[in-house]
Amino acid sequence: MDQKFYARPVLEVAQDLIGCLLTHGPCSGVIVETEAYHDSEPACHAFIGVTPRTETLFGAPGRAYVYRSYGVHAMLNAVCEPEGVGAAVLIRALEPVDGIELMAVRRGAAKLTGLCSGPGKLTQALGITLADNRSDLTHGSIVISERPDGSGDPVIQRDRRIGITKATELEWRFCLADSRFLSRPVGRVARA
DNA sequence: CATGGGATTGACT
DNA sequence: GTCAATCCCATGC
C-alpha cells in the first residue's frame, strides 16, 4: 500500500483499512476495527494545532503516529490526508494471524480473542512502542498490506467512537461485521 | 517549574 | 459497576 492510499479523506481510509494485514516483526493480524480522527473536531489531538506532539499528525501521510495514553498504553495510528492536514486512523483491534505464541507471552497468556481486542492491547501484543512514532507504514518496521484479492469487500459496520469525551456524536468507528475480535460489540453505548 | 487531563486496561466490589 | 496506575505534553504562572 503506497502513500497515495493514505493521502485521502480519513473516513475513506478508515473503512478501507478494515480487512488489511498489519505486520510488525514476526507478528501480524487482520485489522477489524478502526476509528477516524480529524483536526476539524475536538476529539482529535490535532484540534489544538501544530505542537511537538501533533507534528506527526500534520506531516506526511502513511506514517505511524504512536503516543502514550493514560501513562500506560501505546496507541497506533496511521496518518492520513495530505501533508498539512492533521488526521489519522486509530487501529483499535486485530484478528491475530502470525506470531500468536509471542503475542500471548507479551500479553500474559490471554485467550486468542483477547490478544489484540483493544488499541493498547494490540500494541503490546505486537511489540509496538513510542519508538515507532513517525515510522513509515509503507516501508518501515510496521507494514500494512492490502487485503487479498478475491476475499471480497468486507461488510463494515459504523458506530460511535469509544472512550472519548468530545465529539461523541460522530459515527467514525468502523468494524468488521460479526468479528469476534473487536474491542467492544457494535451498537452499545460506549462507556457508562 | 507545577499542574491537570487523557483515543485504556485490568483488578476489585 | 467503580477506580487507580502512570507518563507525556500542553498550558499557565
pLDDT tens digits for range A95-112: 999 999 999 999 997 799
Report the SS3 class of residue A157.
strand
Assess whether pLDDT exceeds 60 at residue A89: yes
What's the gap between Cα A122 and its chain centre? 9
What's the one-letter identity of residue A119? Answer: P
Q: Which nucleotides of B are covered by protein (CB under 7 A)?
A: 5-10
Q: What is the pTM of this model?
A: 0.95
pLDDT, tens digit, 9 for 90 and up, residues A22-34: 999 999 999 999 9
Q: Give how far the C-alpha of residue A100 lies from the chain's centroid of Cα atoms, to the nearest Å.
A: 19
Task: Provide mean pLDDT across the span A169-180.
Answer: 96
CA of A25 to C1' of B1 (A): 41
What tens digit of pLDDT does each residue of A146-158 get? Answer: 987 777 889 999 9
Which amino acid appears at position A58 of this protein?
F
Q: What are the residues with a C-beta under 7 Å from any atom of nucleic chain B?
A: A 35, 37, 43-46, 57, 65, 68-73, 75, 77, 88, 90, 107, 110, 114, 118-121, 161-166, 183
Strand partners, A136: A63
Identity of the amino acid at A16: D
CA of A180 to C1' of B3 (A): 41
Confirm if A21 and A95 have CB atoms less than 8 A apart. no
